[in-house]
Amino acid sequence: MTLAKSAPKDFLNQYKPIRLLAQVSLERAEWWSGRNEEYCAELVREARERMTLASDIAELIEAANIS
């Protein structure tokens, strides 16, 4: 939280890739959808976890009034 309070922009920027990584997982899942259903399901779970994490972080940031 020290970084969040002293440099909120830097703090926020370090979490931007989480949403990007989730999008990459979804795109990979789309590609694998007709080839390997088990791996596709794993990628979708991974993307959901990343999106949940990104949303949780955004809520924490909003609650901490550092946006």
pTM summary value: 0.68
Span 19-39, average pLDDT = 88
Q: Tell me whether residue 2 is in a domain.
A: no
- What is the mean predicted confidence (pLDDT) over 8-23? 81
In this structure, the number of other CB atoms found within 10 A of the CB of residue 10 comes to: 10
Res 62 pLDDT > 80 = no
34 within domain boundaries: yes
Reported residue count of the chain is: 67
For residue 46, being part of any structural domain is answered with: yes
In a domain, 39, yes or no: yes
| Residue 47 CB burial class (10 angstroms; 0-12, 13-18, ≥19) | buried
Residue 13 confidence (pLDDT): 74
Give the DSSP letter of residue 62. Answer: H
> What does residue 7 show for φ and ψ, rounded to 5 degrees?
-145, 75
Name residue, tokens 């259903």.
37
Res. 67: pLDDT tops 60 = no
Q: What is the extent of the structural domain holding 52? A: 11-63
Average pLDDT, the chain: 82
Domain total in the chain: 1
